[in-house]
Amino acid sequence: MDNLVNQLKSTALSVGEMFTPVLKESKFKETGVLTPEEFVVAGDHLVHHCPTWQWSRAIDAKHTKEYLPENKQFLITKHVPCYRRCSQMHYDSNLEKIIKEDGDNGDAQDEWVDTHHFAPETTQKVEHADVVEKAPVSNADDDDDDEGPPMDMDSFIASGGLEEEDPNRYIAPIAKPETQNSTSGDNIVRTRTYDLHITYDKYYQVPRLWLIGYDENKQLLKEEQMNEDFSEDHANKTITIENHPFLNIHMASIHPCRHAEVMKRLIEQLADNGKELGVHQYLLVFLKFVQAVIPTIEYDYTRSIQL
């Protein structure tokens, strides 16, 4: 039933997008939205600082959006490792406290909160040779001694941005990753991988994240399998299966209805602290706050955000 409702909503939004005019004037500081030109600026900045992300064209000319450059229709990164399922993570009790306090203050109870975890030990082998070659290796274990409590939006702002070593909470899993023994007796991590795409949503006027997953044999994951890698609070709610606007395939997508609201709040609180968020930094911040929805997918290798 949830999927049917989501499909109907998706169809309605597609129709609404057809009649939504392209945003021409910047409203970034006022409302947290982006024009297509600002989306391209933010995308160029992301690609420059995080080379694992690249621009891509539409698969067919008929899917090309005329309000975006032909060679910069959407952003893509491939072979992103996902070592563990969300059920194997242990969340700090402070996380529930933060969410509850936000709710008591009248804010939405599903406020974005960064939650991370430990990647498997470096002594274990990854069962995807191309992942080792193409994806950066998490250095979470190196930062073990400097951990702090999980960061909410206020803590993010008070810290002046994300430090070079990333102060986000890394939370140790309570279960070992699924492994199998090789003939030599070594442990091999059965690693899933994801391809991630960022598109510009013309209706909501914000970036939108899309995901498609593969198992250790490079076979497509089923919807119920991908839900194992999504936060339980967001699976089939914030994350739905919809048709990709450029590739004509079904992919999981984080619904963008609250993205502008979160960004607007961040901009305002930064201003209260005498700081300013540049539009070119939008996607770096965007990737930070959506990590709460997909905490086990290790895509976040963004650089320090200087505010």
Which residues participate in catalysis according to the annotation? 257
Tokens standing for residue 172: 């140790």
Between CA 44 and CA 24 the distance in angstroms is: 19
Between CA 194 and CA 83 the distance in angstroms is: 11
Q: Where do we find the tokens 């070659």?
A: 133
Between CA 158 and CA 179 the distance in angstroms is: 40
Tokens standing for residue 200: 């510009």
- What are the residue ranges of helices labelled H in the chain? 2-18, 28-31, 36-49, 93-104, 129-134, 153-158, 223-227, 259-272, 282-289
CB neighbour burial string for 68-92, b if at least 16 within 10 angstroms, e if fewer: beeebbbbbbbbbbbbbbbebbebe
What letter does residue 173 receive in the DSSP assignment?
Answer: B
Q: What is the DSSP string of 111-144?
A: -----EEPPPPTTSEES-HHHHHHSPPP-GGGGG
Which candidate, 234, 188, 183, 180, places its Cα nearest to that of 211? 234
- Tell how many helices (H) and how many strands (E) occur in the chain: 9, 11
**Encoded amino acid at 13, one letter:** L
Between CA 291 and CA 307 the distance in angstroms is: 20
**Encoded amino acid at 276, one letter:** E
Between CA 71 and CA 73 the distance in angstroms is: 6
